[in-house]
A and B are shown apart, each in its own frame.
Chain A
Amino acid sequence: MNAVFFYDKTFDGLLSAVFQAYSTKRFPDRLLKVGDVAPMFIDERITVITDPDQAGRVWTGLLNKTDATVRNMLGYVWLSEISGSDELLFRYICKTFDSKHTVAWNFGDADVLELTKIARKVAHEALYIKQFVRFQKSADGIYVAPIHPEYNALPLTIAHFSDRFADQQWVIYDTKRKYGYYYNLHEAVEITLADDNNLLNGRLNDTAMDDDEKLFQQLWKSYFKAMAIKERLNPRLHRHNMPTRFWRYLTEKRI
């Protein structure tokens, strides 16, 4: 007997699916988005209606069975947007409910290990963002940075940037997912730009730039160049540390 659940691909939807599975005792082999084509040889198709109430009850259940680290990991894996990661989450949550003790450390279990690994990748992507965001000061005094992360890790970095750059206005914009955050000296709010062409190539137009911006970019570039020890050049290690996919928006790597 094969079953497919169709749901709306939201986190609440996923939790609702867990709720339904337990209340109907039918567990899905696949989780698909409403409207997706089901694979062949399916015996049962079930459409899950997202219900915040049910989702809330599942979450409360998780609060009782897991510690904060595990719940963070669940969030990270959700943000990975890796295909199949929702099915992994589903299985992991079921295993959590089905076992008497926490499964978090059972790395002999393939799902537990996989979940931990994906969570680690997303956490690393958040670190990459903290490392490689490069602000450019715009003419109106706002510090602007485009990014293009592989996983949707920007939300995980906002608290860090808000604390660190508390006395300057800034925007960090995910040009891949077309949304970002604007910090207005009090809080960071989510924004979407009607026109992000100015950001896409990674550099503000000269007219949009603060007068000193070019100078500081120049200073940073020449500092970066001066720091290299020519006798020890190691391009492979360089690319390992600073993957080429970030170069587009890195001031010091632009010609």
Chain B
Amino acid sequence: MWRQKNAYLCINMNEAVTEKLRVLAESAKYDVSCASSGTVRRNQSGGLGNTVGGMGICHSFTEDGRCISLLKIMLTNYCIYDCAYCINRRTNDIPRATLSVSELVELTIEFYRRNYIEGLFLSSGVVRNPDYTMERMVRVVKDLRTVHRFNGYIHLKSIPGCSEELIAEAGLYADRMSVNLEIPTEQNLKLLAPEKDHASVFAPMRYIQQGMLQSIEDRRKFRHTPRFVPAGQSTQMIVGVSPENDMQILTLSSALYKRSSMKRVYYSGFVPVNDYDKRLPTLTQAPLVRENRLYQADWLMRFYRFRADEIVDAQHPNLDIDIDPKLAWALRHPELFPVDVNTCDYLMLLRVPGIGVKSANLIVAARRYGRLNAEQLKKIGIVMKKAQYFITCRELPLLTVQEISPENVRKALSEPRKQKLLHNRQQLSLIFPD
């Protein structure tokens, strides 16, 4: 079967495809969500591919440090819409290209066979109308699954405003679907993307949620009911393109996470494009630090059991740029510290700056064997530089936030601004709040 395919390929995959691939990758790259996680799909009867559970595999990293795990590409970057923040908007004079369904299928499979990728992340500009576009995208994923028995990961970005039927079909083949919110408030969305509104985003999100719940329900009764979007859905907000504050953003995220199907909310610092458009803010650089802080706050909500209103509130509607949100929270609540790591409960351990989920687990396991001292804590991996102000344990001089005062701890732990700009991307990936 493969020999045949390749014969056909030789004619088809040529210089033109290289150029199309380049153009469409350029257009797709600003979409930040690359996580290919959440599904385990065993290879089925000698077909191609599987998806591994938990974290998907990053096969490469871009020179700006993002993970490449999926072939992230647009079916076409032609678009009838004119969203202010998007390079593909119809007013822009940029190279345009469209891949055919079969070209895209071949690219995915050939890349996959060489272990370049975990699967496909497909999005598209809107051509003719949302349903026409969505239908073509569905054809790609359907071909991959049914004709080529492809078991790799597929993320399909659903077109705002497309019909429920198309989502119902797409959900049978995709591991994850996403509908991007882009702008947190409807008023600003309408200002920047006049053709869109929140209804066109929330409706498909609801279809996906319902389809997923339905399929889970059905599978309880009939084991062979096909799975529907097994890895759930995600969405994205662009940060710094409209004036919403962090409280508005995080409150919205936490509401979105209340839906069981919503697995990730992504925050994308607005990379200045289309600077001719007067509706856009003038930025010299993407708000990377803020984006980073939002991810840290999101992390706190998902893994550290913080509520949005503990991280930001009316008095502090924006995240602190100089310190991470967990430290900021601790400094607002000095009355709760210091805690004794050898006795305090797990949830409180999680809230100590400098202690991450992993080290909290290790501490809880290890302290049953005896009291832990500072040296052992350091070896276990807690960040003493931060934690020292918030814990008591053997052999630690008592210089906690109580003795030193929150202001001084803050001074000692603030990240110098200049360095922060340089290494910001590194922080994003390396230091989620401990």
Contacts and interface: CB of A to CB of B under 8 A. Distances in A.
A113 B380 contact: yes
9 interchain residue pairs of minimum CB distance: A237-B65, A232-B64, A105-B365, A226-B25, A241-B61, A107-B366, A228-B63, A234-B425, A106-B369
Interface stretch (A19-27, A43-51, A163-171): A163-171
Interface string B38-60: 00001100111110100001111
Given A106-B369, A164-B43, A229 B29 contact: yes
B80 interface: no
B63 A136 contact: no
Interface string A141-161: 101010000000000000010
B149 to A, nearest CB: 8
Interface of A: 105-110, 113, 127, 130-137, 141, 143, 145, 160, 163-168, 210-212, 215-216, 218-220, 222-229, 231-238, 240-242, 250-252
A241 B429 contact: yes
Contacts of B368: 105
B67 A211 contact: no
Interface of B: 2-3, 6, 9-10, 13-14, 17-18, 21-22, 25-26, 29-30, 42-43, 46-50, 52, 57-68, 71-72, 107, 110-111, 113-116, 271, 285-286, 288, 362, 365-366, 368-370, 372, 376, 379-380, 423, 425-426, 429-430
A241 B67 CA distance: 8
Nearest to B380: A107
B113 A220 contact: no
Contact of B58 (A131, A133, A232): A131
A148 B380 CA distance: 30
A106 B50 CA distance: 36
Contacts of B288: 232
A132 B376 CA distance: 35
A135 B64 CA distance: 25
Contact of A222 (B21, B48, B72): B21
Contacts of A109: 369
Given A108-B369, A134-B116, A227 B62 contact: yes
18 contacts: A107-B379, A131-B59, A143-B114, A165-B48, A166-B48, A212-B13, A216-B13, A218-B18, A219-B21, A227-B25, A228-B62, A232-B288, A234-B425, A234-B426, A236-B426, A238-B64, A238-B65, A240-B426
Contacts of B366: 105-108
Nearest to B29: A227
Contacts of A251: 114, 116
Contacts of A106: 366, 369
Nearest to B359: A107
B114 A160 contact: no
Nearest to B373: A108
B366 to A, nearest CB: 4
Given A132-B59, A135-B114, A223 B21 contact: yes
Given A165-B48, A219-B17, A226-B26, A143 B62 contact: no
A241 B43 CA distance: 28
Given A224-B68, A231-B285, A219 B114 contact: no
A109 B107 CA distance: 51
Given A108-B369, A160-B52, 5 more contacts: A165-B113, A212-B6, A227-B66, A235-B63, A241-B58
A231 to B, nearest CB: 6
A71 B18 CA distance: 48
B116 A220 contact: yes
Nearest to B115: A133
**Which residue, B63, B110, B116, B288, has most C-beta atoms of chain A within 10 A?**
B63
A212 B2 CA distance: 12
Contacts of A212: 6, 9-10, 13, 110
Nearest to B45: A166
Contacts of B430: 240
B111 A216 contact: yes
A232 B61 CA distance: 13
A182 B271 CA distance: 46
B396 to A, nearest CB: 16
B27 to A, nearest CB: 9
Contacts of B10: 211-212
